[in-house]
Each structure stands twice: as structure tokens, then as C-alpha cells.
Chains A and B, each alone.
Chain A
Amino acid sequence: MHQPQRNSNRLATRRDTLRGALAAGAALPILSLHRATATPADMRAAIANVIGDVKLNVGRVKIEIPPLVENGNTVPCTVSVESPMTTEDYVKAIHVFNEKNPQPNVISARLGPRTGRASIATRIRLTDSQTVVAIGEMADGSFWSDSVSVIITLGACLENLI
């Protein structure tokens, strides 16, 4: 009498465990995906954070990234802004944003008339093929931008996530 009951109990627990494991297995990747990437909306929010209500013009800025990148862990990136760099008319800052990394910000550099040439170069991480945006902040308060789309064959950041 006792034997079958115990068996069914054991079966039930096993089923529950299996169900639990399946549910956890299904939920985990979704969770990590959500946490792993920003969205173009996040990038727009980050840009709005920097420029406020000012209109973002296109031009004067040039962002250079190789169009096809093998390794997203180190991607050379150069941003130049057209400006005479005088004491009245100069570039105050250069900001770079991405749309698919876990965080939309890449770098914010502060420049001044003493910089002479409004150009910076660095190496960045890109987790996936995406658009990268560079914004130049002028001394007169205007903002100018340029964007480039990059194809990444091996992304950064996520190699240990799964």
C-alpha cells in the first residue's frame, strides 16, 4: 500500500524539478539578453542627456571606423570636427555613442581653444554590428553629428555571458 504512494510522490517531485529547470533554462537567456544590450532608444536618451533640447545638426563632424571589423574588442575610432579652434569659435567637447553595447556611452572628451585641432582617436569595444554616433559640441552651444555603421564579425563583452 505504501509503496506505490511513495513512488507517485517521487514522480511528482521529479516532474516539478524538471519543470522548474526548464522554466529557469528558458528564462535565463532572455534575462541576460535584456541586460546585455542597449537599444537605439537608450542611445537617443543618452544623447538627449548631453545635448538637452538643442537641435542636433548633421555635418562638420567626421567619425572614422573601419566598415568591417573582425574583432569587436579593439576597434580603432577617430573623430574629427571642423573648427577654426580660435578663442571664440572652438569645439568644447566630442561625445561618442553606440546603440547596441550594454551602455550607450563610449567616451566624452573635453577640448578647448588650446587643443588646436579638434580630433581624437581611441580604441573602442563594439558588441555587435551597429551604428556609432559622434557628436561635436561647439562653443556657441550648437551640436553637430556624424554616424557610421560598422559590421562586427566577433563581438566584444559577451564572450563569457552564456
Chain B
Amino acid sequence: MASALINVPPKAKRGEIIAIKTLISHQMETGFRHSETGVPIPRDIVTHFVASYNGEEIFSAQLFPAIAANPFITFYTIATVSGTIEFKWTGDNGFVATEQAKIIVE
């Protein structure tokens, strides 16, 4: 199973801009490489990443083979209310991974 690493500050002031760092373990096989016997290795990458704050989408990204293995994405958001930030990665061959982080907004 794929494992994800998330870095969300546990506490924030209302209206504060917080940095969110995400990393999903995935080989991101480009589909442009060949095995030692010359057989093309099929593409197997994470194609989409979505972050939702209490169910509302706040950030999404479409990824291409030019993203390095174990995709690492940092982005920002405004801490509005306490709740849960959910992260979802989807990709080739039915790849799905989810992770969530709690945040307390004062």
C-alpha cells in the first residue's frame, strides 16, 4: 500500500495562511523507459491530487510523468475553521490513496 506523509500545522489563527506539505510514495514510472531486454515499461503514475477542507476543494493538481518519484507537493491555504483537511491521490491502474489531517483554528 502506498503511504502518504502530510505536514499540516495542528493549530492556526483564523485567517492565517498555512503551508501544507504532502508526499505520496509512488514510483511514478514514466512509460518512456525500457527494460534491459528492450521491452517498454508501461506508464504507472499518479495523475491527480486533490485537497479538500471540510469537504470543499481548496487545491488540485494534474501530474505528468515529469513529476519525480514519490510526488511531493507544497501549497498554501487560509485556515478558516477547525476541521479536517482531506487529501486524495488517484492514478494509473486504479491507484487511489487518501489521507487526512486535523486542524484547530482559534
Contact = CB atoms under 8 A, between A and B. Distances in A.
Q: Note whether A and B form a binding pair.
A: yes
Nearest to A46: B64
Interface residues of A, number: 36
Given A102-B65, A114-B56, 5 more contacts: A107-B67, A109-B61, A114-B58, A160-B34, A160-B36
Interface in A79-107: 98, 101-103, 105-107
B34 A103 contact: no
Interface of B: 17-18, 30, 32-36, 41, 53, 56, 58-69, 71-78, 80
Interface of A: 35-36, 73-75, 98, 101-103, 105-112, 114-126, 156-161
Nearest to B65: A103
B3 to A, nearest CB: 17
A108 B62 contact: yes
A101 B69 contact: no
B98 to A, nearest CB: 19
B97 to A, nearest CB: 17
B30 A102 contact: yes
Contact of A105 (B36, B59, B64, B69): B64
B33 A160 contact: yes
